[in-house]
Amino acid sequence: MFGRRRIGSIAAVVFFIGGVLSASVRPAEAQPYLGTVKAINGDYYGVQAITYDPIKKHIFAQYLQSGEWVVARITQAGIATPLVVLPFSVFDLAFDSQTGKVYAGYGCEIIQISAANGATTVLAGSTTCGTADGKGPLAQFQKPNGIAVDGTNGDLYVADSDRVRKVTPHGVVTTLTAPGSIGGGNCQPFNRGFQGVAYDALDGNLYVADSCPNIIRRVTVTTGQVTNAYGQCFLDQFFDCEALSRDGTGTSALFASPSGIVYSAIDQALYVADALNNQIRRISPQGVVTTLAGSGHAEFANGIGNLASFDEPDGVAASANGVLYVADTINQSIRTVASTGPTPPPPPHSFRLMDVPDIGAHPYGITFSTDGSLWYTETDFAKVLKIDTTGMQHSFTLPSGSFPQDIVGDASGNVWFDIGLGPPPFSPTPSIGVIRSDGTMNTYSVPGGVDVTSMTLGPDGNIWFVASNVDLLGFITGTGTVTEFTVDPANYISGGLSGDIWTTGTGFIERFSTSGTLLKKYVTNQFQISEFNPIAPGPVDRMWFAQAVDVGEVLKSTVATFQLPPQPQPFGWDPQGVVEGSDRAVWFTSGSSGDLGRMTSTGVFKALEIPAPRSSPTRIVLAPDGSLWFVDFGASKIGRWF
């Protein structure tokens, strides 16, 4: 059963008068919108451990100062008072209001630090590491990571590598869960293995954010039973737990190295610093996981919700007034996040993202059929999927080893897709498939066994294709007859203006008639030496293409290009799809930066960041309603911009 037992609830009623929010319930001007992210003054290099004093409203955090690890008391204005200098870092801090002390796992010890003067003593453990229970120095710890306080009795709960330990206020240590009950997973290449702990006053249980296997574990304090409450380990091809992001209920939600976790009494929710997703996630009392803030991109940006950005947030603490404090490690900052407040008004234009049905799947191609259904391919799951106009998903499974990529619809309501060579076991023969409007599926082999990589609906009604780095151009008729022409090796293909076929290769654009005759070849030093040159019909009745550093248009006898802003990635913007939008601008996907790029016909450029971790979009299409749809290969999502 998902969720946690609710012991109380708060209901809020908002009245509207004449469409205007009543002054009696108008949010205070200082009250930020839900999900608002700001930064506290100061530079906190290496900050990771953080906790909060709800009475004096002080933050406690550890960070590097002049080459030393300092645990400091920090005011809301960012004024820091160092309490103690430690030779090594700690992963987590916990504050106990009853004792006025800050607790941490340090080496193989549990230490306590006075919040008033920094006096530091060892509560339990010693420099001898191990697993022995006992009191004070007779107890042993392996690698105490996360630590949490039960505010009712002062007991501490410590995530000690592969088990959870309990420490009383007098330093008596007992083992709460069985060896091997937490931990596990292969953290390479990140080598994180962090474990945050939260004591949930709502249900009296512990929650461990186990970063290696990407799981939030529930620990029943009375019995020591451990269950996997949220998230799951999805093994990739290297048998690591893959970094994924998905909202959902219980184990259907997905995380990427969840590190810090805290219980907030104000809404009885758990909040998670999802480090490698660069997001702050919320777990409701009903067990529903949502994303509160963070674009998913490793950046620094203040803002609301997914307009804000973090870079590996690790620690998280909760105040009594609905403010979270986040240790934003790589950004060397402490951020505040509003976990309560009015919902921000929806923007006039925005992204909407949805998960693909198969966990870990990477969508690649996308198209619409004549009945308004959306179709896309899942390369590594050998599937073609359809979302009909009612929102229902339909799945078509291909033979094992198939690797569907591009997909395109024809005028008869059929959709065509290439079946390339995927990971072992390979498909016996690369081919072209079709799912007809009546739901039947056929496949046709391509002479020569070439691996088709780009397809388009030609002006003649046939499906035209190229095979990357192979000197072949071809088309397939509705009955499956294939015709091929020997041409320069091309990467992308598009039906174009004047009833012609257009292809792009490394350093050239070629224009063909539907009889396969080369009409013109455009070669210029303006073309970048890159394989990524998608092309499509665009504004002012010209063909438009996107390259690593510019967007260009094909004129009558030559080309013109508009420079793009520099990108630090080795492939520049890495465009993989281009289309004309309903606004008569050129839109392209940036596989390297996770953006949609927009260029007007006069050269005005804007980048729109897709709010998803590991975003790497490929193909993009214009929907009948004028919105843009794209597949996000890296984020495992289908996206819409409207």
Judge contact between 175 and 191, C-beta under 8 A. no
Query: How crowded is residue 608: how many other Cβ atoms within 10 Å of its Cβ?
Result: 16
Quote the strand ranges of 446-538, DSSP E. 454-457, 463-466, 473-476, 482-485, 492-495, 501-505, 508-512, 518-523, 535-538
Q: What was the pLDDT predicted at 363? A: 98
Percentage of the chain beyond pLDDT 90 is 83
Q: What was the pLDDT predicted at 567? A: 85
The DSSP code sequence of 89-158 is --S-EEEETTTTEEEEEETTEEEEEETTT--EEEEEE-SS-S---EEGGG---S-EEEEEE-TTT--EEE
User: What b-and-e string marks burial along 256-283, b requiring 16 or more CB atoms within 10 Å of the CB?
Assistant: bbbbbbbbbeebbbbbbbbbbbbbbbbb
Strands of 58-65's sheet in order across: 50-53, 58-65, 68-74, 80-86
Task: List the Cα angle 192/193/196 in 5-degree steps.
Answer: 110
State phi, psi for 381 to the nearest 5 degrees: -115, 5
pLDDT digits (tens, 9 = 90+) for 544-579: 999 999 999 999 889 999 999 998 777 789 999 999
Q: Which of 538, 642, 639, 528 is nearest to 589 (CA)?
A: 639
Confidence label for 16 from pLDDT (cuts 50, 70 and 90): very low
Average the pLDDT over each of 57-61, 281-285, 470-474, 604-608 and give the range with the smallest value. Answer: 470-474
- Does residue 2 surpass a pLDDT of 60? no
Contacts of 475 (CB under 8 A, 6+ apart): 458, 460, 462, 463, 464, 465, 482, 483, 514
Dihedral sign computed on CA atoms, order 323, 327, 331, 332:
positive
Q: What was the pLDDT predicted at 8? A: 35
- Does residue 225 surpass a pLDDT of 90? yes
pLDDT digits (tens, 9 = 90+) for 54-77: 999 999 999 999 999 999 999 999
Residues composing the chain: 642
Task: List the Cα angle 426/430/436 in 5-degree steps.
Answer: 115
The rounded distance, in Å, linking the Cα atoms of 167 and 182 is 18
Q: Mean pLDDT of all residues in the chain?
A: 91
Structure tokens at 380: 């590594």
Q: What was the pLDDT predicted at 30? A: 60
Q: Answer left, alpha or beta for residue 201, where phi above 0 means left and psi between -120 and 50 means alpha.
A: alpha
Rg (CA), the chain: 28
Structure tokens at 558: 């030559």
- Does residue 25 surpass a pLDDT of 50? no
- The average pLDDT across 529-544 equals 84
Judge contact between 390 and 374, C-beta under 8 A. no
Confidence label for 10 from pLDDT (cuts 50, 70 and 90): very low
Judge contact between 642 and 627, C-beta under 8 A. yes
- Does residue 359 surpass a pLDDT of 70? yes
Please give the DSSP secondary-structure letter assigned to residue 339: S
Q: What was the pLDDT predicted at 238? A: 72
Confidence label for 440 from pLDDT (cuts 50, 70 and 90): very high
Q: What was the pLDDT predicted at 428? A: 61
- CA 7 from centre of chain: 33
- The average pLDDT across 580-597 equals 97
Q: What was the pLDDT predicted at 160? A: 97
Q: What was the pLDDT predicted at 185? A: 82
The DSSP code sequence of 550-592 is EEEEE-SSSEEEEEPPP-SSTTTT-EEEEEE-TTS-EEEEETT
pLDDT digits (tens, 9 = 90+) for 618-635: 999 999 999 999 999 999
Torsion of CA 136, 137, 138, 141, to 10 degrees: 90
Task: List the Cα angle 155/159/161 in 5-degree steps.
Answer: 150
pLDDT digits (tens, 9 = 90+) for 459-486: 999 999 998 878 999 999 999 999 999 9
- The average pLDDT across 369-376 equals 97
Q: What was the pLDDT predicted at 309? A: 98
Confidence label for 28 from pLDDT (cuts 50, 70 and 90): very low
- Does residue 12 surpass a pLDDT of 50? no
- The average pLDDT across 430-441 equals 95
Query: How crowded is residue 591: how many other Cβ atoms within 10 Å of its Cβ?
Result: 22
Residue 283's DSSP bridge partners are 270, 289
Confidence label for 399 from pLDDT (cuts 50, 70 and 90): confident
Q: Which of 12, 563, 571 is nearest to 342 (CA)?
A: 12
Confidence label for 6 from pLDDT (cuts 50, 70 and 90): very low
- CA 427 from centre of chain: 31
Q: What was the pLDDT predicted at 569? A: 75
Q: What was the pLDDT predicted at 5? A: 43
pLDDT digits (tens, 9 = 90+) for 150-175: 999 999 999 999 999 999 999 999 99
How many distinct helices (H) and strands (E) make up the chain? 0, 57
Judge contact between 482 and 476, C-beta under 8 A. yes
Q: What was the pLDDT predicted at 20? A: 31
pLDDT digits (tens, 9 = 90+) for 107-135: 999 999 999 999 999 999 999 999 999 99
Contacts 24+ apart (CB under 8 A), 359-363: 359/232, 359/234, 359/244, 359/246, 359/254, 359/636, 360/234, 360/236, 360/242, 360/244, 360/636, 361/636, 362/633, 362/634, 362/636, 363/618, 363/631, 363/632, 363/633, 363/636, 363/637, 363/638
Percentage of the chain beyond pLDDT 70 is 92
The rounded distance, in Å, linking the Cα atoms of 537 and 578 is 9
Confidence label for 18 from pLDDT (cuts 50, 70 and 90): very low
Q: What was the pLDDT predicted at 384? A: 98
- Helices marked H in 142-237 — which ranges? none
Judge contact between 62 and 120, C-beta under 8 A. no
| Bigger pLDDT: 595 vs 497 | 595
Q: What was the pLDDT predicted at 13? A: 28
Q: What was the pLDDT predicted at 272? A: 98
What are the Cα distances from residue 506, in Å, to 3, 488, 503, 522? 54, 10, 10, 11
- Helices marked H in 190-321 — which ranges? none
Average the pLDDT over each of 20-24, 31-35, 199-203, 298-302 and give the range with the smallest value. Answer: 20-24
As a whole number of Å, the end-to-end CA separation of the chain is: 37
- Does residue 218 surpass a pLDDT of 70? yes
- Does residue 345 surpass a pLDDT of 50? yes
Structure tokens at 230: 């949220």
